[in-house]
Amino acid sequence: MSTSDMTDSMADEAANITPLHGDGEEIGFRSPPHNFEAEMALLGAILVNNRSFERVQEYLLPEHFADPAHARVYEACAHLIEHGQIADPVTLKNYFKNDADLQAIGGQAYIAELANAVITVQNAQDLGREVYDCFLRRELIDIGSRVVNDAYEHELETPAPTQIEHAEELLFQLAEQGSTETGFRDFKSAVTGAIDMAAAAYKRDGQIVGVPTGFTDIDKLIGGLHQSDLIIIAGRPSMGKTAFATNIAYHAASSKQRSEGPDGTDIEETESVAFFSLEMSAEQLATRIISEQAHVRSDAIRRGDVREEEYNRVFAVSQALHGLKLFIDDTPALTIAQIRTRARRLKRQHGLSLIIVDYLQLINPPANSRGDNRVQEVSQITRGLKALAKELDVPVIALSQLSRAVEQREDKRPQLSDLRESGSIEQDADVVSFIYREEYYKERERPTPRDNEKQETYLEREQRFNELLEQCRNKAEVIVAKQRHGPIGTVTLQFNGDYTQFADLAPDDYLPEDRF
């Protein structure tokens, strides 16, 4: 085929191609999503009946309007209504006397036109949702453009997984708040939030505002686990850190969160807990929780060495645990970015009240920090956990190992300086607590007969040892060494090693109630 024939053939094929638009128009500029008619109708409904503002004020802000003039009218109406005044064309007259944008579309006459054109005020909420939906679509387009532009930039500092994390963060923030940035908050809203927290604490059993730990004295000391707080629980191996964390996870997931419903009535929702286990498998953690609640040794459960009544208790407890919103991720060597991504996803799907990470030193450092010294790596990890707590507005509990310096002292109670890479952990955490079991160390000091020692002398030493051991048997101390918002102190708990269970310690003079 000659060149001219090929050209004619291509021309014929092109003539037969159906255009993208049926009317043959070329694809032109696409304006961002907006609905000026809905904005006008909503403003008109508010001007006619200010009660319409109450139906949209909780979620609709001036910046959600596509037309800047409409945004200023809405903002002025909100200002007047919130100050107990009436918002109508007459009261708004002085607000827009010198507003050039409003004058360009009609000025005072335009505001009167908004009020006169309204047909009904009953659909104000639907109109507000339409305005807000258009805003979200505009924000989605903006995020999409940024994601596309960033993806074209091939830089070593921002590999593709990092860009995916950033894109998901932007989408999460948009879904949660309706905006990609929070910006400044006026002090009035901060004070209102503080009063709401105090009111919730006053109404809630136990006088706490945060997620309950399940331990009465600890909740009294720290007021529960507060939103956006980073709580460090540290201890030497075999002190019971993971057991304490699983106890808290179970108590939190078993508790109810009270909130006010749309009709003003209190509604209860089950707390949702995310447990990132970088050391133990999900099955091992589940076995521990079953052991705690069924009072059957966990090693016996794993071996199947249980009696019939014990098996029945295990089965009953396992059935009861099915309804808990306790989610376990046992993926090893996660990074902070991966923990953040999975926590965001869980919050969107099931809600989220508490995050537990076991344990801090097993978190992989960010890729760009590998090769730095360990102190800098842990600093980035703790800063990331604190940022995660603030972003998701939930408490984050991170378990941590202690250095061997504890073992070198006569008094082996931990101190803040015993934290591995302690500087950043102590600085970033809102609460730092230690678990200490004197019984663990005492048992390793059991006396043995000395050379040429009389039997009576050895028996006396053994008796004194047994008396000291009895004083600390089945007891654990939770030492709150730092609390940003309250006092420090020590709480003594009951510890049952057979079932890896912590519990409130009954006072010595406590007598159980007579049930008969």
CATH code for the domain in which residue 139 is found: 1.10.860.10
Question: What's the token pair of residue 322?
Answer: 């099915």
* pLDDT score, position 14: 41
State whether 356 and 404 are in the same domain. Answer: yes
pTM > 0.85: yes or no: no
Flag whether 252 is in a domain: yes
* pLDDT score, position 480: 92
Cα(329)–Cα(277) distance, integer angstroms: 6
Last residue of a domain, one of 434, 459, 489: 434
- The answer to whether 95 and 76 have CB atoms below 8 angstroms apart is yes
State whether 308 and 388 are in the same domain. Answer: yes
State whether 132 and 56 are in the same domain. Answer: yes
State whether 241 and 317 are in the same domain. Answer: yes
Last residue of a domain, one of 393, 415, 434: 434
Flag whether 501 is in a domain: no
Flag whether 362 is in a domain: yes
State whether 263 and 411 are in the same domain. Answer: yes
* pLDDT score, position 361: 84
State whether 316 and 229 are in the same domain. Answer: yes
* pLDDT score, position 434: 92
Those residues whose C-beta lies under 8 Å from the C-beta of residue 294, and which sit 6 or more positions away, are 310, 313, 314, 316, 317
Residue 230: CA count within 13 A, CB half-sphere = 21
Question: What's the token pair of residue 352?
Answer: 């989220």
Last residue of a domain, one of 413, 434, 455: 434
Flag whether 492 is in a domain: no
* pLDDT score, position 37: 85
> How many domains does the chain divide into?
2
Flag whether 10 is in a domain: no
Flag whether 311 is in a domain: yes
State whether 254 and 303 are in the same domain. Answer: yes
Residue 89 lies in domain? 30-177
pLDDT tens-digit readout, 437-455: 888 888 877 777 777 777 7
84: left (phi over 0), alpha (psi -120 to 50) or beta: left
- The answer to whether 357 and 398 have CB atoms below 8 angstroms apart is yes
State whether 366 and 426 are in the same domain. Answer: yes
State whether 169 and 220 are in the same domain. Answer: no
- The answer to whether 482 and 429 have CB atoms below 8 angstroms apart is yes
Which residue ranges of the chain lie beneath pLDDT 70? 1-29, 97-107, 117-122, 156-157, 175-209, 257-268, 367-372, 420-423, 507-516
Question: What's the token pair of residue 409?
Answer: 């002292």
Flag whether 243 is in a domain: yes
Cβ-based burial of 318 (10 A; exposed 0-12, middle 13-18, buried ≥19): middle
CATH code at 389?
3.40.50.300
Cα(11)–Cα(4) distance, integer angstroms: 11
State whether 228 and 332 are in the same domain. Answer: yes
* Amino acid letter, 91: T
State whether 262 and 165 are in the same domain. Answer: no
* pLDDT score, position 516: 34
* pLDDT score, position 197: 57
* pLDDT score, position 191: 63
Flag whether 500 is in a domain: no
State whether 124 and 242 are in the same domain. Answer: no
Cα(212)–Cα(443) distance, integer angstroms: 33
